Amino acid sequence: MELNRTLLEQVVERRKIFKFRKSQLTSEKPHYQIVIHNDKEKKSYIFACSTTKYEKRKRYIELEGLPETTLVWIKPSDNNGLTENSYIDCNSVFVISDDEFYQKYSEGELTLEGELEEGYFFQICAGIADSPRISNEIRELAKIIIENG
């Protein structure tokens, strides 16, 4: 069943996990992307991208002197739809417009995979809030998400 744009926008909420290829990644392989925030005013979504390359991300974080809290481990489960241990580098989030997201959906380039458990979601938000690489606006938003539970 194909969703119209309004219904799709309602599905894209915090903690949902979609699988799609992010245009800024060098990999052609789709990745699991976690919705951090649906900004209805700006008509955009904030996502965090998962990876299975733990050692590579850990090394980067160590070399750059970034807080350890900015690398979050997620265990796969039936609920979240992940198929192997995954990691979120909270030093890198991205914003996608609702137009671009809907285009990916319309072209069959994304799928809804599951929903992230609340505990992991708040760990990611804490990592985003701790990261000096994230804009102040998004860091403050992450703090508000944590405060409001």
Report the candidate in 96, 84, 100 with the shortest Cα–Cα distance to residue 34.
96
CB neighbours (10 Å) of residue 56? Answer: 12
**For the chain, percent of residues with pLDDT exceeding 70:** 95
Print pLDDT tens along the chain (149 aa): 566 777 777 889 999 999 998 765 556 789 999 999 999 899 999 999 999 999 999 999 999 999 999 999 999 999 999 999 999 999 999 999 999 999 999 899 999 999 999 999 999 999 999 999 999 999 999 999 999 98
Cα 10 off chain centre by: 17
What local confidence, expressed as pLDDT, does residue 21 receive?
85
d(CA 14, CA 46): 9
What local confidence, expressed as pLDDT, does residue 27 receive?
64
What local confidence, expressed as pLDDT, does residue 19 receive?
95
What local confidence, expressed as pLDDT, does residue 26 receive?
58
d(CA 75, CA 141): 25
What local confidence, expressed as pLDDT, does residue 134 receive?
98
What local confidence, expressed as pLDDT, does residue 9 receive?
77
**Rounded mean pLDDT of the chain?**
93
